[in-house]
Structure 1
Amino acid sequence: MQYGIDAIKNNKSRIISTHAKPLILVSGLCLVLSSAHAVPTAAQPADGPKGGWNYSGLTDRSTDNNMSYPTPPIYRGLTRNRTPIKGTIPLTDQQIPELIVNGNAMRLNTDKSGHFERFYAFGSGSNSIEVKAASNKVGHRTQFYESNPSQVTPHLRIICSWDAPEAEVDLHILTPDRQHVTWSSPLLKEGGGLDVDSVDGPGPEMFTVASPLHGTYQVYINYWGNLDESGYNFDKTKLKKPIVTSTITLVFNENTPNEKRESFIVPLRKIGELTMVKSFLY
């Protein structure tokens, strides 16, 4: 494979239609949200860590195979060793729910009833979760301690989120050893990579590596096309807003004293647009 910008531009084939596989629900860190004067407030969790304590693989069944909900439009397999975050949030036409994990904000996509289930690879130690709607100042917050010492802290995480669920936006990561990580090749040979249930549909897309190789990384995003009930399409008139606003967050040494975070706001105006977000030396 050619390494660099041309390799990204030439990698455009994608399945246009498929039928969904059954969703596998797992118990875990559950957020149950209810409505009080249109402000999400916390209710008693239905399942999950008690008293702010969690032991991955024992109390949250994170070792089970799992998939986020709403399910992606294309089935690319299941993932394990991620802690589930699930619940229901009241919705209005003006609200865009948001999930904030350890300070990392991303759009929270739900079904029509406001139900969601997301998965996150937490490291050991103290972790925080908040679910809120953009129009509200108050959301559901929880803090828990991951006590499983074998849970490895992600030293590099890249999150791509965008504000138009009908748009298909793709992360492209070029690694120091000439690997090209994207929707068609989401996993790194040495472990880590993109969550396979985040590379299709409304996102967010998440790239996570516990032990990154040293060298230069390049981060791109591509506005690949649109998605509706009939499948993928390249009709710009079906986009509900003139500009798709994407947020790309780079997190180094997450949840440690050496944590560093950078966020970039990138507007996407037309289908096929490819944007270099960041080149950095790890």
Structure 2
Amino acid sequence: MNKLCFFLCAVPALAQAQVTIDAPKNGWRNSAGARERYTQGVNYPANSVNLQPGQSETAQIRGRIANAGKGKPATLIVNGIPMPLEVQENGTFARPYGFGSGSNSIEVRAPDGTGRARTQFFDGYAGKTQSRLRVVLSWDSAGTDLDLHVVAPDGGHAWYGSRVMPNGGALDVDVTTGYGPEIFSSAAPPKGNYHVYVNYYGSGAERDALTVAQVAIITNENTPREKQQILRVPLRAPGELTLVKSFVYP
């Protein structure tokens, strides 16, 4: 046995991450009567996305990543839109999500990219209230606090200090620990001009940390008229407020 072979054979192979999605399940379902709650309490000084007690399985994404490693979040892709997914120290993940009726797809990728799992289901509840406008903010750094602001044509303004608009549009949570996501959804968005801002609120110990925000705008999700747009904006210093996109709905 030569020296190179001895060295390579002596190095143990790194364990590949194994991803399991427990909810939602593959197949057909009907979510009529399910308890689905998306906004959550905010506990400062630190807050992250979490699953509320009693949340129906029809409105959650839950599973486990074995050998996930530490430090970075996993990647969650819902109907083609990527966003960070927090993984606990024991490898579990759980978050609420407002799925629409019709076909939905979910993919979870391990933080190091070595493992992934997919599921797809069809919700047959035709009377379900679902998002016609969804705005998803995520970013690429830990320990930073970015805030999503959505201003509607009727003057409604959803932000961490007032997360629910009079017209029913709502921001799910104020994430202060990095990565996000923060998700704004509206089932009946007023027609007219919308403005989407991102505020670089703070960065913890690294006061001038550069972070890149990603904003996804989805209209008429799960319909033939669905449109998706993803924008990325670099933010250089706390206090920076950036207009990411102005658009007209519908």
Q: TM-score, normalised by structure 1?
A: 0.71
Match for residue 84 of structure 1 among 40, 43, 60:
60
Structure 1 unaligned regions, length at least 5:
1-35, 227-232
Counterpart selection for 1:243 from 210, 214, 225: 210
Residue 126 of structure 1 is aligned with which of 103, 114, 125?
103
Alpha-carbon distance, 1:201 to partner: 3.6
Residue 27 of structure 2 corresponds to residue 52 of structure 1 = yes
Q: TM-score, normalised by structure 2?
A: 0.79
2-side partners of 1:102 and 1:48: how far apart?
13
| Maintained 8 Å contact 2:61/2:96 | yes
Residues 35-93 of structure 1 deviation map (CA, whole Å, 9 limit, x = unaligned) = x94143447x4x654x51222255xx53468859xx99359xx6978701111223224
Alignment partners' CA distance in 1, 2:62 and 2:17 = 18
Would you identify which runs of 4 or more consecutive aligned residues in structure 1 move more than 4 Å? 64-68, 78-82
**Out of 155, 160, 164, which is 1:187 matched to?**
164
Uncovered stretches (5+) of structure 2, i.e. residues with no partner: 1-13
Deviations 1:144-182 (A, max 9, x none): 111222213311100000111310100011110112210
Alignment of 1:152-163 (within 5 A): 152-163=129-140
Q: Percent identity?
A: 37
Q: CA deviation at 1:199?
A: 4.5
Shift of the 199–184 alpha-carbon distance from structure 1 to 2, 3 Å rule, reads farther
TM-superposition CA deviations, 1:191-236 (whole Å, max 9, x none): 12111x345443200000111101110110011013xxxxxx5x53
Q: Which has the larger radius of gyration?
A: 2
Q: 1:86 to 1:40 in 2, by over 3 A?
A: same
Cross-structure match for 1:256: 223
Q: How many corresponding residue pairs?
A: 228
RMSD: 3.1
